[in-house]
Structure 1
């Protein structure tokens, strides 16, 4: 059995798309006869505090669904203070650097990016050992940081980040990117670099759609995921107008905007917005069976980013109300997955919601069946993985 190592900043039992994405990659490689190991921090995301089972430990080695996981020490934090956040990143970077320097690693290594510093240190050490480096790019940094106003263009930090980005692209044996925009960007810097599209398709193992209807005709729209700056869910709650409409908005997740969202909901009784906190993925999918539409927002159009929620929820049969711009719009349009609203255009969003509110549940249920059928055909993770293995990517 061929060995392969994955280096990631996130892994279950942590929550969120990033952890789910890496676990899915690991499991699919295992199912295709690879012996898979993962290096990641002690679980702490998204709260920025070590999970109870990892407190007081410097490192942990464990098995999870036949995947060997090595968790290394980190000083966890989700503080908005850049100095504290930097210490957190550097703490795991140091642990990872020492581990990779002195421990034996397989011949093939997948490195997740971002974070840039972690991918830089990983690739720096692994390249010294002459290993095959597969760089897995989920978002384009520092470009995304500039678009989110998290980094000032032309600043020292920006220039340093550009150096890290260029280095990891150059040293990687090949690259897998989760959007065509990522592949285009890589080729704009290194035109001859081998780069392959690897979408964040889910693996639900669901062969038929299961609809659970409620007694009333209220249309239940949900958001499930990270409540962070990039998603803009707090602003969505402020500007969405469903008063008088046959619509409710339900929120599931955790993140930096959680307290603001809870405070807003508790201060106004007529919002028809409900917050349910974070749920385990399987439990969440059970809860969502009685819901109708998934909303997928981004605060700003981020080049290279395609929210995995598009694939995650269309594959469960949910129509997508996409509010994020970029390549995601094209995917929703091409596969007829739902509705698209120009990013940041709340007037258009509220007009779309007004139209949606007039639709009977029977029409939405038929749309669910069509979307489920399309997603099963178009977003097939097993087929994608077998094609990449055939091309000797892994």
Structure 2
């Protein structure tokens, strides 16, 4: 394979360690490992805390190198309270300084964009009017549909303009990829992209990486004061409306009188304060809120909890598929999924027997499933084993070697979640 100059755009990048930055960073590192020259255009670290590091405040530009990847950072306005207006200013600052950095890098052979936000894909498509190179937009989240689903700026001129620019950028791209079958269907039907332009690019895990550390059990419990005989059910990640964590608090309340059972909500986000107020109003005694964990601490969390809880509310468009899911399955950790029965998250985990699955808000089933965890029912180990086997087909080298071949040589079809088998 001839070495290429690959340019990657991403709103956030390493050392940011949650959501899209995990995959944008690892793809860049993988390309560099294979001998390609890799540049990244991004902002200064801020995610998921929505807070810049002290050493980055006041900086307009910086260039650093991580794992042989050259990272060009530009000023980023980061609102302390990410309201709609604050997010608009945030994205405009990202695009403006990314435009300047785009003029500073060498002409690439391949451009890869990790979105959201839409504006970073629009910028890459604009620059490619001059570069005329292969452009791939990898859609991790649909910003416009998310705004509609959550009732944010619905039918506003800003949202309509954003969607028009989004579709324009997709039409300029050689490929538009996404991570799940429902999201690929949205590209084909709602965005009206031809089938040959739509590329399946599932997220991946590191289960084939011998350097992946599996920490010994007990470290997380010891650090935070949980005894070995306490059953822990935890959520770790972004805390927003789409996560629907009210149902987890309701489950905790239902088991408030059960000894040796505790619930953890770990992370930050727009819905955190409301959930804390809800828990306080209900006087829920068996739930603890904790800030985001760094990557090493997150692994100790996975090693020590008895189940990882993931919820997903019903939305107008099936546009969410949790980025953390494959990593949890690779650790063979039990998943409790409480999600809309029409969602791909529900259908995939139910079809392949990967988790204890229930419809969002179905408290009767959820209570029974938590009872199975408390009883150490044999079904728990069956779900763990099935998840570990399922996720192997999404190993890092399997997914990324095929993607890199598609981007640099002859296109190769990738497996989708719908086609995946145990």
User: 1 CA distance for matches of 2:44 and 2:406?
Assistant: 34
Question: Does 1:248 find its partner at 2:262?
Answer: yes
Name which of 249, 267, 289 aligns with 1:237: 249
Q: Counterpart of 2:349 in 1: which secondary structure? A: helix
Contact 1:111-1:122 within 8 A present in 2 as well: yes
Would the alpha carbon gap of residues 82 and 268 (structure 1) be closer, same or farther in structure 2, given more than 3 Å must change?
A: closer
The correspondence of residues 215-230 of structure 1 with structure 2, limited to 5 A, is 216-230=228-242
By how many angstroms is 1:36 displaced?
A: 1.8
Q: Counterpart of 1:142 in 2: which secondary structure? A: helix
By how many angstroms is 1:365 displaced?
A: 4.8
Name which of 187, 197, 217 aligns with 1:212: 217
Question: Does 1:288 find its partner at 2:302?
Answer: yes
Tell me, which stretches of 5 or more residues in structure 1 are unaligned?
none
Would the alpha carbon gap of residues 341 and 79 (structure 1) be closer, same or farther in structure 2, given more than 3 Å must change?
A: same
User: 2 CA distance for matches of 1:366 and 1:81?
Assistant: 43
Alpha-carbon displacement from aligned partner over 1:256-280 (angstroms, at most 9, x marks no partner):
2334444555666653112232111
Number of aligned residue pairs: give it: 391
User: 2 CA distance for matches of 1:81 and 1:208?
Assistant: 37
Would the alpha carbon gap of residues 209 and 93 (structure 1) be closer, same or farther in structure 2, given more than 3 Å must change?
A: closer
Would the alpha carbon gap of residues 77 and 208 (structure 1) be closer, same or farther in structure 2, given more than 3 Å must change?
A: closer
Contact 1:169-1:186 within 8 A present in 2 as well: no
User: 2 CA distance for matches of 1:161 and 1:197?
Assistant: 24
Q: Counterpart of 1:341 in 2: which secondary structure? A: strand
Aligned to 1:271: 285
Aligned to 1:202: 205
Q: TM-score, normalised by structure 1?
A: 0.89
Q: Larger deviation: 102-111 or 78-87?
A: 78-87
By how many angstroms is 1:74 displaced?
A: 1.2
Question: Does 1:368 find its partner at 2:384?
Answer: yes
Contact 2:108-2:131 within 8 A present in 1 as well: no
Q: TM-score, normalised by structure 2?
A: 0.83
Report which structure shows greater RCO (CA 8 Å, sep ≥6). 2
Question: Does 1:69 find its partner at 2:71?
Answer: yes
The correspondence of residues 147-186 of structure 1 with structure 2, limited to 5 A, is 147-152=149-154, 154-186=155-187
Question: Does 1:383 find its partner at 2:398?
Answer: yes
Alpha-carbon displacement from aligned partner over 1:273-317 (angstroms, at most 9, x marks no partner):
122321111222023312121111123345132112221201111
User: 2 CA distance for matches of 1:288 and 1:392?
Assistant: 34
By how many angstroms is 1:225 displaced?
A: 0.6
Name which of 352, 358, 372 aligns with 2:375: 358
RMSD in angstroms over aligned alpha carbons?
2.7
User: 2 CA distance for matches of 1:347 and 1:8?
Assistant: 42
Q: Larger deviation: 302-311 or 243-252?
A: 243-252
Q: Larger deviation: 69-78 or 329-338?
A: 329-338
Contact 2:310-2:336 within 8 A present in 1 as well: yes
The correspondence of residues 93-172 of structure 1 with structure 2, limited to 5 A, is 93-101=95-103, 103-152=105-154, 154-172=155-173
User: 2 CA distance for matches of 1:139 and 1:393?
Assistant: 25
User: 1 CA distance for matches of 2:399 and 2:309?
Assistant: 26
Would the alpha carbon gap of residues 275 and 109 (structure 1) be closer, same or farther in structure 2, given more than 3 Å must change?
A: same
Contact 2:214-2:303 within 8 A present in 1 as well: no
Alpha-carbon displacement from aligned partner over 1:138-164 (angstroms, at most 9, x marks no partner):
122312221121231x43233212212
